[in-house]
Structure 1
Amino acid sequence: MEVIIPISVLFILFVIGTPVAFCIFCSTLSYFMMSNQPMIILVQRLAGGLESVTLLAIPFFIMAGVFMNHTGISARLLKFCEVLTGHMNGGLAQVNVVLSTLMGGLSGSNIADAAMNSKLLVPQMVKRGYSASFSAAVTAAGSLITPIIPPGIAMIIYGYVNNVSIGRLFLAGIVPGTMLCLLMMGLVSIISQKRGYLPIREKRASCKEIFISAKDAILALLLPVIIIGGIRLGVFTPTEAGAVAVIYALILGLLIYRNMDVKKLWLATRESALGAANVLLIICVAVAFSKFLTWERIPQSLASWMTAVVDSPLTFLMLVNVALLILGMFLEGNAIMIVLAPLLAPIANSYGIDPIHFGIVFIFNGAIGTITPPLGTVMFTTCSITEVPIERFIKDVLPFWGLLLIELGLLTYIPTISTWLPNLIYGVAQ
């Protein structure tokens, strides 16, 4: 009863639309009210959930992404993407996908990426004859590249809650993220050809044009290289890399591009604080929630049941995928990760599944849920900004959803896609 009631409270509050952080907090509070645990322990767990130095990377990377947006980086990257892909079928939709891939290395947040492209590109796409629903679908689907492109916030959270190397996770996302970008560009080309969505350039850009546009964007494109290179060479930790990213963004905005003044700096800082508070509040309450699950031996019971029923790692991965896809329809991705990843990761380890491989599969599963009805966060963000009815959005996002499932299947059953690059750079984990 001490477990059933808190879990029931959690799902009831989710169903009636209560914000995720408050759902988890009320569920945890109900457990402490029913059990013999002193209430002071709840306070200690809430405070302790944010004590890790690793979590400092989250506000740092969020701030770096916001600062980059306010320095005019987005406009420079947009021009670079237009030069690269403007000659393809559905030129502006191709730009949308590539821009999401590049911005993923700056913002680290799929919601932030979807919101930016919804404001920046969707109006332009509609003016050029693209349907609003297709434009919104491309924007939302493209933003799902962001969580698996370093430095994705989801990777930092997953590494923190499961004690997995964040540097390895960053490297593990490069190949899957690039592969998803290319697959999505191919799908956009097929759909655009059928619908008559034309290129925005008459011919392929010359090497000179590419060089000129790359020169304007190169400082932004160097950021992920600096972050990953610095972590690998031991110059700084992932947390320190976040601080380096903020300083780098400030240097670009204040000294090099000179697009950031005191007013923009204040607005960017305020936006960063609000974004970080939203993520960290969920982490804070979810850590306390996972603690009471541990006290009640839920992880151990789940592991025992799973290993008794499922004898194959492939079957286990399939069941995890199905469960996470269903949960993603209703719950916020970071909350799912903080609550379930510590339960499932040890079971995956018992089956001999590489923790980096399982981490990428888990993170990408959570990303797919954000564009899945009825409660996908990226779906709602994109539709609210673009004013596209959800039913029209769902119709146009279905091909992309199918593509995402194909990518998920490849990541799930071909571990080398995720583990090859980390093993090459760091060596095979012992």
Structure 2
Amino acid sequence: MEQLILFGVFLLLMVMGVPVAFSLGIAALSTAFYMEIPPLIVFQQMSEGVSSFSMIAIPLFIFAGELMMRGGVADKMINFASSLVGHMRGGLGQVNIMSSVFLSGISGSPIADASAIGGIMVPQMVKRGYARSYAVNVTISSAVIALMIPPSPNLILYAIAGSSGISIADLFTAGIVPGLLLALALLFTAYIQAVKKGYPAEPFAGFWFIFQAFIAAIPAILLIFVIFGGVRFGIFTPTESSCIAVLYVFALMIFIYKGSSFRMLIEAVSAAARTTAMVLFIIATAAAFGWFMAFLQIPNMVIDVMSHVSESPYVVMALILVALLLLGTFMDLSPMVIICTPIFLPVAINFGVDPVHFGIVLILAAGIGLYTPPVGTLLFVGCAIGKVGVGEVLRTIWPYYLASLLVLMLVAYVPWFSLWLPALFH
């Protein structure tokens, strides 16, 4: 009965349109009242959920992302992406996808990245004659790349929620190949769709233009390698890397790109504070919700149920993927990671799946779920940015969805894609 109240109240509130953070918190409180557990326990778990030292990295990465978007750093990376693929059929669509690769999800939120990149690219694409649905399709599908290529705060969340000694450095390394694989699949899909729609190819600007764009973007691109290399080789921790990211972006803005101003700084701090408050509140309530799941032994129940369904790890993995895709249609990524990790990670380990490999699979599946019809939050954000109806986008997004699912299947069932690069560093 306790399990029914926990999930029943949560799902009922979600259907009623209550924000996910409040739904999680109210469900936890309702279960506490029913079980006659002091409500103080819920608030203690909320506090502990955001008290991890590693959690400091999240607001700092968010702040670094805001600075990049507002201080001219991101523009240089987008210009370099444009010089590489802008001359292809559907060139601006290719630029949109490559921008997600180069920006590498500093904010860690696909919704934030879709808003930032989409806000820049979608109006340009519409002005050049691209259909709004095409512009939105490439924007929201490529935003998921941000979850895979380091630094990704959501991978840090997974390591914290897993509580089984999972290496953040290994997670950062493991996400690179799947992220690039997803990018290639989406680039190919965008090209095929551009050919079908008859979008013209842009003139090739020449290798000298590529070289100039690359030189201008080198300081910004180096941020990815500084953070990844520092964490991977143990020079600094993931938390310290977030501090370095902020300082590095500040230095770029002041001394190289000259894009800083006091007003811009205030806007970046304000936006980062709002996003951080929202994310940490979701994490806090999800932590309380997750404590009740552990207290009620729900992960063990899931293991028993799946063991009775099948003894095959392939079938169990398929069931987990379906569950993650469905959950992603109505939940944001942070609470999904906090809630689903303690449920599904023990199941995966029980069936012989490597925790690092499973982390990449979980993050990728949850990210695709964010734009899975009919309710994906990323889907609605993209439609709002592109000023286009959801129905029109749903009629045209299926090729990108199929390409993403194909990559998900490859990553899920061929661990080599996730594990071979981390193995090189051991």
The alpha-carbon deviation at position 312 of structure 1 amounts to 1.3
Post-superposition offset of 1:119: 1.3
Matches of 2:315 and 2:158 in 1, distance apart?
A: 22
What residue number does 1:317 align with?
317
1:361 maps to what in 2? Answer: 361
1:168 aligns with 2:170: yes
How far apart are the structure 2 equivalents of 1:13 and 1:205?
Answer: 56
Q: 2:204 — aligned with what?
A: 203
Match of residue 193 from structure 1 = 195
In 2, the alpha carbon distance for the partners of 1:137 and 1:232 equals 34
Matches within 5 A, 1:248-263: 248-263=248-263
Note the C-alpha offset of 1:204: 6.3
Give, in whole Å, the separation in 1 of the partners of 2:360 and 2:185.
18
Distance 2:382 2:194 in 1: 20
Distance 1:318 1:335 in 2: 21
Structure 2 equivalent of residue 153 of structure 1: 153
User: How far apart in 1 are the matches of 2:204 and 2:72?
Assistant: 27
Report the CA distance between 1:331 and its aligned residue. 2.1
Shift of 1:79: 1.3
Match of 2:302 in 1: 302
Does the aligned pair in 1 maintain the 2:329–2:377 contact within 8 Å? Answer: no
> How many angstroms apart in 1 are the aligned matches of 2:105 and 2:5?
41
Structure 2 Cα separation of the partners of residues 20 and 104 of structure 1: 26
Per the alignment, do residues 81 and 342 of structure 1 end up closer, same or farther by CA in structure 2, a change over 3 Å counting?
same
Tell me whether 6-15 or 302-311 shows the greater mean CA deviation. 302-311
TM-score by length of 1: 0.96
Deviation at 1:336, TM superposition (A): 1.8
Amino acid at match of 1:274: R
Q: Deviations over 1:377-408 (max 9, x none)?
A: 11111111221100001112111001111011
SS in 2 for 1:106: coil
| Cα deviation code 1:198-220 (max 9, x no counterpart) | 122x23631x3222111111111
**Rounded Cα–Cα distance in structure 2 between residues aligned with 1:107 and 1:21:** 20
State the alpha-carbon separation in 2 of the partners of residues 150 and 38 from structure 1.
Answer: 40
Q: Encode CA deviations 1:117-145: one digit per residue, 9 max, x unaligned.
A: 22111111111111111111111111111
Per the alignment, residue 342 of structure 1 pairs with 342
Q: Distance in 2 between matches of 1:414 and 1:229?
A: 26
| Superposition deviation, residue 281 in structure 1 | 0.9
Identical pairs, percent: 39
Q: Work out the CA distance in 2 between the residues paired with 1:323 and 1:2.
A: 21
Bigger shift: residues 20-29 or 85-94: 85-94
Which SS does the other structure have where 1:288 is aligned?
helix
Preserved contact between residue 108 and residue 149 of structure 1 (Cα < 8 Å):
no
The yes-or-no answer on 1:29 pairing with 2:32 is: no
3-state SS of the aligned residue for 1:107? coil
Whether the 8 Å contact between 2:10 and 2:27 is mirrored in structure 1 is yes
Question: Structure 2: which amino acid aligns with 1:275?
Answer: T
Partner of 2:237: 237
Does the 8 Å CA contact 2:105/2:147 hold for their aligned counterparts?
A: no
One-letter code of the match for 2:67?
A: F
Cross-structure match for 2:113: 113
Displacement, 1:412? 0.8
> Per the alignment, in what secondary structure is the counterpart of residue 409 of structure 2?
helix
Map 1:23-422 onto structure 2 (within 5 A). Answer: 23-163=23-163, 164-200=166-202, 202-203=203-204, 205-206=206-207, 208-422=208-422
Amino acid at match of 2:184: L
Which runs of 5 or more residues in structure 1 are unaligned?
Answer: none
1:105: Cα distance to partner?
Answer: 4.4
User: For the residues of structure 2 that align with 1:84 and 1:411, how far apart are their CA atoms?
Assistant: 27
**TM-score, structure 2 as length reference:** 0.97
Offset, 1:280: 1.0
Report the Cα distance in structure 2 between the residues aligned to 1:38 and 1:355, rounded to whole angstroms.
Answer: 34
CA–CA separation in structure 2 for the residues paired with 1:126 and 1:397: 17
Q: Contact 1:173–1:418 at 8 Å: present in 2 too?
A: yes
- What is the Cα deviation at residue 2 of structure 1? 2.4
Q: What's the secondary structure of 2:106's corresponding residue?
A: helix
Q: 2-side partners of 1:405 and 1:295: how far apart?
A: 34
Equivalent AA in structure 1 for residue 39 of structure 2: M
Alpha-carbon distance in 1 for matches of 2:235, 2:404: 36
Distance 1:106 1:2, change over 3 A: closer
Kept in 1, the 8 Å contact 2:5–2:30? The answer is: yes
Helix, strand or coil at the partner of 1:87? coil
Q: Aligned partner of 2:61: which letter?
A: F
Would you say the 8 A contact 1:106–1:223 is kept in 2? no
1:31, 1:128 → 2: CA distance?
54
Aligned equivalents of 1:404, 1:347: Cα separation in 2:
24
- Return the offset for 1:258: 2.0
- Give, in whole Å, the separation in 2 of the partners of 1:165 and 1:380: 34
Q: How many Å separate the matches in 1 of 2:29 and 2:107?
A: 34
Native 8 Å contact 2:137 2:393 kept in 1 = yes
Superimposed CA distance per residue, residues 339-363 of structure 1 (whole angstroms, 9 cap, x where no aligned partner): 1111111121111111111111100
Unmatched tracts of structure 2, length 5 or more: none
Query: Partner letter of residue 196 of structure 2?
Result: K
Partner deviation per Cα, 1:137-169 (whole Å, 9 max, x = no partner): 111111111111111222111111113211111
Asked if the contact 2:106–2:146 (Cα under 8 Å) also holds between the matched residues in 1, the reply is: no
SS at match of 1:89: coil
CA RMSD of aligned residues (A): 1.3
The aligned amino acid for 2:187 is: M
Of residues 47-56 and 322-331 in structure 1, the stretch that sits farther from structure 2 once superposed is 322-331
| C-alpha distance in structure 2 between counterparts of 1:132 and 1:351, whole Å | 44
Confirm or deny: 8 A CA contact 1:104 1:110 kept in the other structure.
no
For 2:364 and 2:265, locate their aligned partners in 1 and report how far apart those are by CA, in whole Å. 33
Task: Give SS of 1:3's match.
Answer: helix
Q: How many residues align?
A: 424
Deviates more, 1:151-160 or 1:53-62: 151-160
